[in-house]
């Protein structure tokens, strides 16, 4: 089956109160691990490529790897998405290259500029059958968000979200309710602003929301990295039950990168320490690929609820 857009995926996810995982990819083993997990669990999946991943792997290589995934797993609904597109030109390039979904991230811009840039991408994308995700509110600065005042300054404003969606025609919206990127998300107890999420959903019924920075930073893998020569002290992510809860309130796409990085790195670190004479990349990258697959199966079956939805 060819690549799909996220339109049908999100409609089913919204109605079924589950979320589709959007997993960051940048090499063959990661793509294979994710797609194999989706195939085994019969789950739809979003493969997302950041500007950095595109630069690292080269756009043509990534495209051909994803084409190979479509051949190997024809029964799986796969969308190919640009993660955190930062310009109209980048969005246009990947749309012309066959991506079925793009994110234009104008969240750092003044509000009217975010609207203008998003609108420009939406016009180009929709004319070519491609869907667009935008972002409103700022993910960074969770540590500032303890006080209500600063929450209001950085988290997504519900009324502004309605205005933004209406004026841009965007297909989904990434919101800020307390998550952040990377392995250090919370200084104290993890907390998401569910009241804000419910208010946004109430004002935008049926509209798919997106949660970035949604890795759990699972202790087992942080500990594995640290036990085998890594140095990632005090890492902390979003508890799994909070992510499952979010999918009850219109969150249809959950972005996961850090948990894949931790799983792959932990497994490879352990393998190389346990097998000091091994210098065959197929052995340790194979272990890394298996760790990616296991992690994605865990996410699909225990957190997202997207198994058996294709």
Interface with ligand G3H (CB under 6 A): 24, 50, 52-53, 83-84, 181, 257
Which member of 39, 54, 151, 212 binds ligand 13P (CB under 6 A)?
212
202 within 8 A of 189, measured Cβ to Cβ = no
100 within 8 A of 81, measured Cβ to Cβ = yes
Contact partner at residue 256 from Zn ion, ligand 13P, ligand G3H, none, CB < 5 to 8 Å by partner kind: ligand 13P
Catalytic residue among 77, 83, 193, 259: 83
258 binds ligand 13P (CB under 6 A): yes
Residue given tokens 């841009």 in the structure block: 168
63 binds Zn ion (CB under 5 A): no
32 binds ligand 13P (CB under 6 A): no
Q: Which 90-149 positions form the footprint of ligand 13P (CB under 6 A)?
A: none
Residue 248 is given by DSSP the state: G
Q: Is-catalytic flag, 83?
A: yes
Contact partner at residue 215 from Zn ion, ligand 13P, ligand G3H, none, CB < 5 to 8 Å by partner kind: ligand 13P
d(CA 258, CA 268): 15
Locate all alpha helices (DSSP H) within 155-193, ordered by sequence.
Answer: 158-168
Q: How far is the CB of 180 from ligand 13P (least distance, A)?
A: 7
30 within 8 A of 47, measured Cβ to Cβ = no
List all residues 6 or more positions away from 180 whose beta carbon is below 8 Å from its beta carbon: 139, 140, 141, 142, 213
> Where along the sequence are the contacts to ligand 13P (CB under 6 A)?
24, 83-84, 181-182, 212-215, 255-259
Which residues are the active-site residues? 83
């Amino acid at each position: 089956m060819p690549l799909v857009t996220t339109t049908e995926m999100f409609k089913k996810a919204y109605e079924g109160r589950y979320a589709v995982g959007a997993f960051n990819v940048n090499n063959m083993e990661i793509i294979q691990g994710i797609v194999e997990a989706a195939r085994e669990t019969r789950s739809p999946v979003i493969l997302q490529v950041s500007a950095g991943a595109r630069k690292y792997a080269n756009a043509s290589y990534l495209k051909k790897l994803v084409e190979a995934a479509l051949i190997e797993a024809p029964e799986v609904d796969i969308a190919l998405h640009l993660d955190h597109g930062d310009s109209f030109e980048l969005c246009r390039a990947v749309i012309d290259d066959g991506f079925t979904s793009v994110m234009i991230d104008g969240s750092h811009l003044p509000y009217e500029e975010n609207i203008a840039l998003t609108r420009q991408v939406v016009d180009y994308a929709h004319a070519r059958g491609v869907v667009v995700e935008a972002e409103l509110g700022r993910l960074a600065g969770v540590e500032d968000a303890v006080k209500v005042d600063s929450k209001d300054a950085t988290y997504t404003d519900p009324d502004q979200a309605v205005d933004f969606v209406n004026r841009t025609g965007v297909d989904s919206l990434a919101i800020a309710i307390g998550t952040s990127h990377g392995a250090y998300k919370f200084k104290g107890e993890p907390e998401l602003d569910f009241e804000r999420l419910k208010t946004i959903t109430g004002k935008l019924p049926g509209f798919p929301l997106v949660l970035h920075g949604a890795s759990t930073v699972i202790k087992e893998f942080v500990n594995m990295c640290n036990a085998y020569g890594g140095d990632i002290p005090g890492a902390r992510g979003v508890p799994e039950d909070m992510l499952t809860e979010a999918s009850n309130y219109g969150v249809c796409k959950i972005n996961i990168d850090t948990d894949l990085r931790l799983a792959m790195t932990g497994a490879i670190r352990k393998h190389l320490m346990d097998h000091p004479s091994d210098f065959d990349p197929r052995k340790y990258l194979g272990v890394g690929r298996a760790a990616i697959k296991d992690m994605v199966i865990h996410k699909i079956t225990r957190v997202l609820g997207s198994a058996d939805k294709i």
